[in-house]
Amino acid sequence: MALFEAHGLRKRFGARVVLENISLSVEAGSVHGIMGPNGAGKTTCFHVLTGHHAPDAGRILFEGRDITGLKPHRIARLGISRSFQIMNLFDDTVVIENVILALPEFRARSLNPVRDVFGDTVLIERALAVLDQVGLVHRAWEKAAALPYGERRALEIAVALAPEPRIVFLDEPTSGLGTEATRALANLIRALRRRYTIVMIEHDMRFLFDLADRISVIHWGQVIDEDTPEALKRNKW
């Protein structure tokens, strides 16, 4: 059984049908890519899969459980996390605090961010461990706003990893990155795939084809093909 599945998803906004009969299957421990031209419905698909939009029809299953229509915070608690194409970071805080605020332990204790965070060694150790996964532990006490763009992307991934998810959705992770930063991000995803299942929308085809085990191609709001990168490369259409 797949870790995450979507069957026959449909989404419309008014008279405009954005998604029509979207189905995909993500195996545990894999990197699953989603590609397609601008306006194909990729981002809307991500929003539906992660609970930010409820589908008008179809089902979403996680570990065999129907999660269709659940709110994003309930989906996150089940072990599904995501990043966004436009980064959502607290720039006026230090790097480690961005991660601490996303830790389940912090949310469970209802801590005062100013008074309690930096006095809790358990939270600090947990956050440092997450930052170590993305190669930012040496930046822990710097202002988030001071990070180079590529490291800000890595910090956003760290925030997504803080809740200890089973599966991580990455929305255009290379957006705005230069060549060196893209290469560093590829190495990061190769390391993370040993611990997480990853689904990502990506416009950089070389990046996606080098990393993904399978890729769903979305066009006209539909999955027009799903296969391995090697098989898709042979498909001229």
Using one digit for the tens of pLDDT, what is the confidence trace for 52-72? 999 999 999 999 999 999 998
pLDDT of 121 above 90: no
pLDDT of 111 above 70: no
Q: How far apart are CA 148 and CA 129, in angstroms?
A: 21
CB 79 within 8 A of CB 157: no
pLDDT value for 113: 56
Please enumerate in sequence order all residues whose Cβ is within 8 A of that of 123, keeping only pairs 6 or more positions apart, or say none: 100, 103, 105, 106, 111, 117
What single letter denotes the amino acid at residue 16? R
> Average pLDDT of the chain?
89
In this prediction, residue 34 has a pLDDT band, given cuts at 50, 70 and 90, of very high
Q: In whole angstroms, how far apart are CA 195 and each of 74, 164, 166, 181?
A: 22, 10, 8, 22
In this prediction, residue 117 has a pLDDT band, given cuts at 50, 70 and 90, of low
In this predicted model, which residue has the larger pLDDT, 133 or 122? 133
Residue 92: phi, psi to the nearest 5?
A: -85, 5
Q: How far apart are CA 199 and CA 224, in angstroms?
A: 18
Both tokens of residue 226?
């799903």
Q: Is the pTM value of this prediction over 0.85?
A: yes
pLDDT of 73 above 80: yes
Q: In whole angstroms, how far apart are CA 105 and each of 102, 174, 180?
A: 9, 30, 35
CB 126 within 8 A of CB 164: no
pLDDT of 114 above 60: no
pLDDT value for 86: 59
In this prediction, residue 235 has a pLDDT band, given cuts at 50, 70 and 90, of confident
Q: Which residues pair with 168 in a beta bridge?
A: 81, 198
CB 124 within 8 A of CB 156: no
Residue range 152-203, pLDDT digits in tens: 989 999 999 998 999 999 999 998 888 998 999 999 999 999 999 999 999 8
pLDDT of 115 above 60: no
pLDDT of 106 above 80: no
pLDDT value for 236: 81
pLDDT of 116 above 70: no
Q: How far apart are CA 123 and CA 89, in angstroms?
A: 18
pLDDT of 142 above 90: yes
In this prediction, residue 122 has a pLDDT band, given cuts at 50, 70 and 90, of confident
pLDDT value for 135: 92
Rg (CA), the chain: 18
pLDDT of 109 above 80: no
Both tokens of residue 187?
């190495």
